[in-house]
Amino acid sequence: MGDVVDFAFVQAPEHRPKSSVIVAEGIPLVDLSPINYQIEDSIPVSCIQGLVKEIGSACKEWGFFQVINHKVPLDKRQRIEEAARKFFALDLEEKLKVRRDAVNVLGYFEAEHTKNVRDWKEIYDFNVQEPTFIPPLLQHDDDQSVQFQWDNRWPHNPPDFKEACKEYAQEVEKLAYKLMELVALSLGLEANRFRSYFTHNTSNIRLNHYPPCPYPLLALGLGHHKDTGVLTVLAQDEVGGLEVRRKSDGEWIRVKPIFNSFIINVGDMIQIWSNDAYESVEHRVVVNSEKDRFSIPFFLKPALYTDVMPFEELLGDENPPKYRSLNWGKFRTARMRSNFAKSNVENLQIYHFKFPSDSI
Q: What is the pLDDT of residues 260-274, one digit of tens each?
A: 999 999 999 999 999
Q: Calculate the average pLDDT of the chain.
A: 86
Q: Are 138 and 267 in contact (CB under 8 A)?
A: no
With CA atoms as reference, report the closest residue to 325 among 307, 305, 299, 313: 307
pLDDT of 262: 97
Distance from C-alpha of 182 to C-alpha of 190, rounded to nearest angstrom:
10
Contact 297, 232 (CB under 8 A): yes
Q: Is it the case that residue 357 has pLDDT exceeding 80?
A: no
Which residues does 249 contact at the CB level (< 8 Å), separation at least 6?
none
Are the C-beta atoms of residues 296 and 207 closer than 8 Å to each other? yes
Terminal alpha carbon distance of the chain: 49
- Give the pLDDT confidence score for residue 219 in this predicted structure: 81
**pLDDT higher at 283 or 18:** 283
The whole-number pLDDT of residue 145 equals 47
For residue 251, what pLDDT is reported? 85
- Which of 12-16, 181-185, 287-291 ranks highest by mean pLDDT? 181-185
> In angstroms, how far is CA 273 from the centroid of its own chain?
17
Residue 326 has pLDDT above 90, yes or no: yes
Does residue 191 carry a pLDDT above 90?
yes
Confidence of residue 345 (pLDDT cuts 50, 70, 90): low
User: Which of 276, 247, 267 is closest to 355 using CA atoms?
Assistant: 276
Residues in the chain: 360
Q: What is the pLDDT of residues 125-158, one digit of tens each?
A: 999 998 777 655 444 445 544 456 789 999 999 9
Handedness of CA 257, 95, 114, 228 (dihedral sign): negative
Q: Are 209 and 121 in contact (CB under 8 A)?
A: yes
In whole angstroms, what is the distance from residue 357 CA to residue 224 CA?
A: 26
pLDDT of res. 276: 97
Predicted local distance difference test score (pLDDT) of residue 140: 44
Q: Is the per-residue pLDDT at 360 higher than 90?
A: no
